[in-house]
Chains A and B, each alone.
Chain A
């Protein structure tokens, strides 16, 4: 098959073609690794676990953001050709490596860090697995931070301030977490200029999430929660 790989850096780049042998059960990450090991050791790309847990190997494959370690070539090969590029909506560092800083900076901006509401001397809160809020929080905790949703989102592409689906989904998880006391702070963090209200509900995040999560629903939840909070007199 023909594999076109984007080569370049933040100043620009171009696609370079490689001929790669087809194999059974070959993933896109296998293809990129084969090129790096057999054709060009200078090719830069990122991966770690190879089994869909770490979220580091996401790339654009034939124009679609995907986790490459779990994407089989036979599912995405188009006219015997693969086009592989760094993730959209993030600045490229080199070749297939995108700079993840904006993604994680926004994660922090959306309040995606733990603000403990109890000390070690307090008793642990008892949270039943079938608790309604816990069930909502559970829906999103399998996010692996691969940034596929961020690359898929057209609102991110057009609005530099927008926090993006992953960060907002994290905020929604925290909002529903019994262990987070200051939920007003969570809502304030997602009500600003780049907040959840910029979402157009196009649903690319949910369509492309490799873990079948639903960031669009999480963002809808945040919109509803912020509206209720606003009507009650909050920010």
Chain B
């Protein structure tokens, strides 16, 4: 596996090769392995060793990009020439500010030996322990156990020269019973040593048993308690459609023209924070710029969106360090989203509901309207009717069609505990939420 120092050296070498006014090179190396299981056995087991060099050539205000995973000098030179060819032909972009210069970046060690040592046999043993929690109760388990090491480095001709490594370990488990019941649990951390497979498998199996023989619920708006996995889905879509400076400028975001306005409950604070001690991602973006903490929604009040060098210059704002790899038609993107913790326990949230719905997680969510963040999707793997403060009965999966912004305006409670959902490179840190109204529009028969 390439070290950060080796990746930086490779990036610097590519920059030197580039016959352009300005040059940038991004090196992304990865060693990842994933063990998949289903029907209580391992079904797929894969490993990948890869490294990619992406180069950006700048000629005046013209830009071209090329990438390759062939790392010999001739291939790197060919990639540089391809980027320059593209830049020569591209029309000038009058808004292009040039590549960003160097800034101090803290690069904490976010790698763990236990994750690096999480080999195929170790993953198989973990998969077996997870599966056993279901199989011994007559349930069927499916899921994955994954380990990855990443190295990212960025260099440019203005002196940017940064590199960092990180690790990630992940496990998921879906437990299914014969009576349409299913349960879910997941784990994500930089350190594989924190993974407790028996406990994880047990949570999913418990949910599967509790959710057997689910019943119907009439469509309508209900008070809901969303588990962290479901909350993470909502936050992911907010990040995708709303939190970028580009979306705000193009008036595709609920934040457009609303900075300083209260649009969500004052309990809701959402930030992007790669610098938090618990964060897992890199502390610099794909232009090598330091990622800053950005309060996107503070006590329900709309803040400012994330930027990269292009959109910061265009708007005359600070670069918050949220560039994606060039070329980037999405605009800047937050990759370390977290919703601030509250002071409740999950039992307290559920206990406060007279009649409502508990959702473990969603499935296949999509956006119908970007401005209101109108989402539709299904619940799965543990949906329950809440009555008088208790999970009274399992429910068949429900379809929802609901504005995320409006839902968060009705936030009445947040848990202290939060969970990481996603991947180590773009993890969402989410609590469970109590929302006063959530529109369920259909149900699977």
* Genuine A/B complex: no
